């Protein structure tokens, strides 16, 4: 079955560490997105990519980095520069306007 | 740029009662509108969408939403809710060929 796989489901990070969240899709979608979800704030766009080897900053890109070397993969790195990284992270992909397919999310906690 | 406002953060409702979730948007150009649902600790699922044509759109599980251009609204309704409808609901807007902007979400809690 086609879909988006995010891993790991839960991730714990120590202060000052970089961590990478994985997002893989087998839907043949061109566009991929990373959102951060905090209680009461909805989803905020971190980065998005509309084609391989190209990506753009979203609304809250500071402290994050991405790569898009393959169509299927769009990993997100949370760097030590991100001051408040504890959140639920969602990856999505789309082939047409608005019809996003979401992964099941990664919950990142700083310990 | 477009934006979305969901007017209610929490909506408690009894089972078999009707529910309405309010969504208003702002945009200087024509938009596409969406409702997504999120169950606990899961990703979002598309519930329904308005792209063009009939302003009343329906989902397979009894939800409907009506696009009102003059009031810039896209409210979601269901005439009779079930316990399984307990979830968070997000309204989203997009201009053609562009990314989605989401509202802050409305948590629906259905009680027996």
Contacts of A40 in chain B (CB under 8 A): 9, 104-105
Please, which pLDDT band fits residue B24 given cuts at 50, 70 and 90? very high
The reported pLDDT for the residue numbered B52 is 85
Looking at residues B74-88, what average pLDDT do you find? 96
For residue A82, count other CB atoms closer than 10 A to its CB: 22
Closest residue of chain A to B92, computed from CA coordinates: A98
| A42/B100 CB distance under 8 A | no
Contacts of A43 in chain B (CB under 8 A): 44, 90, 102
Please, which pLDDT band fits residue B97 given cuts at 50, 70 and 90? low
> What is the tens place of the pLDDT at every residue in A46-94?
999 999 999 999 999 999 999 999 999 999 999 988 889 999 999 999 9
Instruction: Look at B52 and A102; give whichever has higher pLDDT.
Output: A102
Position B14 pLDDT exceeds 80 = yes
Separation in Å, CA of B47 to nearest CA in chain A:
10
Contacts of A41 in chain B (CB under 8 A): 104
CB proximity B46 to A under 8 Å = yes
Looking at residues B11-15, what average pLDDT do you find? 97
Separation in Å, CA of A79 to nearest CA in chain B:
23
Looking at residues B9-29, what average pLDDT do you find? 95
Nearest residue to B19 via CA among B102, B108, B89: B108
Position B71 pLDDT exceeds 80 = yes
CB pairs under 8 A between A and B: 54
How far, in Å, are A50, A99, B52, B99 from residue B96 at the CA level? Answer: 14, 12, 11, 9
The reported pLDDT for the residue numbered B27 is 86
Contacts of A33 in chain B (CB under 8 A): 99
CA distance B75 to B86: 17
CB proximity A39 to B under 8 Å = no
Write down the residue that tokens 């790569």 correspond to.
A67
Separation in Å, CA of B105 to nearest CA in chain A:
6
The reported pLDDT for the residue numbered A1 is 64
Q: Are B11 and B30 in contact (CB under 8 A)?
A: no
For residue A66, count other CB atoms closer than 10 A to its CB: 22
Separation in Å, CA of B92 to nearest CA in chain A:
8
pLDDT above 70 as % of chain A: 97
Position B112 pLDDT exceeds 80 = yes
Q: Is B74 exposed, middle or buried (0-12, 13-18, 19+ CB in 10 A)?
A: buried
CB proximity B109 to A under 8 Å = no
How far, in Å, are A12, A53, A58 from residue B101 at the CA level? Answer: 28, 24, 11
């Amino acid at each position: 079955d086609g879909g988006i796989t995010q891993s790991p489901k839960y991730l714990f990070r120590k202060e000052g560490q970089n961590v990478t969240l994985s997002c893989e899709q087998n839907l043949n979608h061109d566009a991929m997105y990373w959102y951060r979800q905090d209680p009461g704030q909805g989803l905020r766009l971190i980065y998005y990519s509309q084609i391989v080897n190209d990506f753009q900053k979203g609304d809250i890109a500071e402290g994050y980095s991405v790569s898009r070397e393959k169509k299927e993969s769009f990993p997100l790195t949370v760097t030590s520069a991100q001051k408040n990284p504890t959140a639920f992270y969602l990856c999505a992909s789309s082939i047409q306007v608005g019809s996003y397919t979401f992964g099941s999310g990664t919950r990142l906690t700083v310990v | 740029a477009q934006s979305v406002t969901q007017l209610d953060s929490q909506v408690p409702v009894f089972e078999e009662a009707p529910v309405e979730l309010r969504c208003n948007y702002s945009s200087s150009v024509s938009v596409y509108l969406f409702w997504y649902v999120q169950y606990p600790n899961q990703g979002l699922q598309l519930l329904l969408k308005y792209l063009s044509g009939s302003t009343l759109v329906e989902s397979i599980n009894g939800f409907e939403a009506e696009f009102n251009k003059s009031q810039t609204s896209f409210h979601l309704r269901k005439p009779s809710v079930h316990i399984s409808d307990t979830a968070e609901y997000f309204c989203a807007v997009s201009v053609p060929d562009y990314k989605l902007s989401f509202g802050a979400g409305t948590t629906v809690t259905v009680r027996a």
